[in-house]
Amino acid sequence: MKCVHALPTGEIMKTNNTVWSWQDARFGAVITAIPFVVIITGYVEVGLSLLIGSLPVAFIGLLPTRA
Name the region of 42 (left: φ>0; alpha: ψ -120 to 50; beta: rest).
left
Find the mean pLDDT for residues 5-25. Answer: 67
Crossing angle of helices 44-61 and 22-40, rounded to 10°: 170
pTM: 0.56
pLDDT digits (tens, 9 = 90+) for 42-66: 999 999 999 999 888 877 765 666 6
- pLDDT bin (cut points 50, 70, 90) of residue 1 is very low
